[in-house]
Chain A
């Protein structure tokens, strides 16, 4: 997926909306910050997500971090391949490394999600 076409949460999750299905992943910046990944906890299919609330956890050698739902809805698919092999997430966070697919409650994305340019600027500011 083209990172420029995605929306980003301030907590570094990305969203791609196709119809009423949102694909959710973790940005390359976040993955790089985490360094070596150890384990990821993803929700089961059927789980209802609340926007802004934790839907899972990712643990690296540095820290354990919550994954926050950028959209509200129901989990319709989980990327089991990533859970089994975190190298996929580390190397391809925007493609094969997607985490979950969500059937969204509303096809209007929350207003706090950022465009690529704004997100890039935000993380550049954080890096200084």
Chain B
């Protein structure tokens, strides 16, 4: 493994007068600046920008780009995030001018192709969910959660029912209680039982006449399918409450089971996890929701409608709608990638996506569980949560150390310390797009790390420009702005110490 030097900042590489700009000879008369602008409008001096040749700049950014870890360069088993490989073809199609050059203010008659695609996305997502009413507007999964909860709130308002509570398992994604709170509900935590499933007794004791919605992730964040879901749905419906499915883990059950058939009333999708939307990067994203037919009237307006003559239009005439949650039609580029993905695979192909995701996760689990025990069972769905607690207890090696050391083996770390119900959690989701060889190499790295010197592991990673960052310092006193005085106080070249450098880079 090689070690890169920290590339100098552009400001540090600056040399007075260095430039590669070549301006054409001016063909207008020149005048002194003072005769053109009043002195009060002039700065005291030129702005403190670095002076560089073009090649300096190219090499600088090229060097930085090689420091990235990405799914295109590394295995990325980040649990709960479904970092599967997104086919490049979908990116290419989304960039076609027929899609990319459309403008939402165009007349609908000129947008028929796009509207047809969006209509089909609505239909396909409705079919996969088993819930026919779909809104494509939400711009991310969490906004989908919020939108669906606002739909639920409108439903109870119309029924004249005072429902103030949203029940949420303790293994849930943090967005669930946040969305409940934003939608005006109180979040009530439901415990998990020893198996990692919903504790049915705790659920029953908290289910009441104030319960609006139970937000369930199934399979849940420990990678288990909760077979109690039909019973849970029945108990909820008996009390007039609704069942929400956090669709983050849809990659495990595509085509195998429809959430609507399990008694789910509302759900969201995460196309960036399941349907080849771009992963992370701050968006744009999409969080389409699907709801029971009778809740469809509350969905954000407009939705895409199809008239009897085959014309597509935006249906704004929805008097019970909760209103818009996003401009125009949602993030069409992401929805279009989902369209390409679903159409490419087809019904049988989507089932295979989930089968292979589950198979890969179970194979990887079987390779590592003798060293990294999996507290919630020997089998899993699309992901599993292993624990480093015996390593922590016996050798002082924690999940954080293992995650950092994996970088030295050219792997992205799994999610760690989530879900909170498993101590020293390593949440591993290999996805269906990884080969058997990759899974075996990754397992070998995990096993090798477990036997390494703890002191060395505490300082990992060792192969990166920045080794173990001081995360407390980074959170409490981040240095976000480079100042010339800082450079003047240290030698030139790469004189800054590693620890100084580490703090701002992780902030």
Contacts and interface: CB of A to CB of B under 8 A. Distances in A.
Interface of A: 33, 35-39, 59, 61-63, 126-127
B400 A39 contact: no
B420 A63 contact: yes
Given A38-B476, A63-B420, 18 more contacts: A33-B423, A35-B398, A36-B471, A36-B472, A37-B472, A38-B471, A38-B472, A38-B475, A39-B476, A59-B475, A61-B400, A61-B475, A62-B400, A62-B416, A63-B417, A126-B423, A127-B393, A127-B423
A127 B417 contact: no
A127 B423 CA distance: 8
B319 to A, nearest CB: 40
B318 interface: no
Interface of B: 389, 393, 398, 400, 416-418, 420, 423, 471-472, 475-476
A62 B389 contact: no
A127 B390 CA distance: 8
A35 B388 CA distance: 14
Q: Kindly list the 6 A-B residue pairs having the minimum CB-CB distance in the complex, ordered from nearest.
A: A61-B471, A62-B417, A38-B475, A36-B472, A38-B472, A63-B417
A88 to B, nearest CB: 14
A127 B389 contact: yes
Contacts of B475: 38-39, 59, 61
A33 B475 CA distance: 19
Contact of A35 (B389, B400, B418): B400
A91 to B, nearest CB: 14
A38 B418 CA distance: 18
Contacts of B420: 63
27 contacts: A33-B423, A35-B398, A35-B400, A36-B471, A36-B472, A37-B472, A38-B471, A38-B472, A38-B475, A38-B476, A39-B475, A39-B476, A59-B475, A61-B400, A61-B471, A61-B472, A61-B475, A62-B400, A62-B416, A62-B417, A63-B417, A63-B418, A63-B420, A126-B423, A127-B389, A127-B393, A127-B423
A118 B20 CA distance: 74
B385 to A, nearest CB: 15
Contacts of B416: 62
Nearest to B476: A38
A89 B472 CA distance: 15
B497 to A, nearest CB: 20
A94 B264 CA distance: 47
Contacts of A33: 423
A37 B471 CA distance: 10
Nearest to B420: A63
Contacts of A127: 389, 393, 423
B418, B420, B472, B476, most chain A CB atoms within 10 A: B472
Contacts of B472: 36-38, 61
A62 B475 CA distance: 12
Nearest to A86: B472
B191 to A, nearest CB: 11
Contacts of B417: 62-63
A125 to B, nearest CB: 10
B400 to A, nearest CB: 7
A35 B398 CA distance: 10
A47 B471 CA distance: 32
B400, B417, B420, B476, most chain A CB atoms within 10 A: B417
A8 B417 CA distance: 24
Nearest to A61: B471
A63 to B, nearest CB: 6
A33 B471 CA distance: 16
A35 B392 CA distance: 12
Contacts of B400: 35, 61-62
A18 to B, nearest CB: 32
Nearest to B389: A127
Nearest to A39: B476
A127 B476 CA distance: 30
Contacts of A62: 400, 416-417
A3 B492 CA distance: 53
B154 to A, nearest CB: 30
Contacts of A38: 471-472, 475-476
A17 B172 CA distance: 35
Nearest to B417: A62
Contacts of B389: 127
A41 to B, nearest CB: 14
A39 B417 CA distance: 18
Contacts of B398: 35
Contacts of B471: 36, 38, 61
A25 to B, nearest CB: 20
Contacts of A39: 475-476
A127 to B, nearest CB: 6
A40 to B, nearest CB: 12
A63 B424 CA distance: 12
A126 B400 CA distance: 19
Contacts of A61: 400, 471-472, 475
Contacts of B476: 38-39
Nearest to B471: A61
A38 B472 CA distance: 5
B422 to A, nearest CB: 10
A83 B322 CA distance: 43
B14 to A, nearest CB: 35
A63 B420 CA distance: 8
A41 B472 CA distance: 16
A28 to B, nearest CB: 15
A83 B400 CA distance: 25
A54 to B, nearest CB: 11
A126 B417 CA distance: 15
A126 B424 CA distance: 11
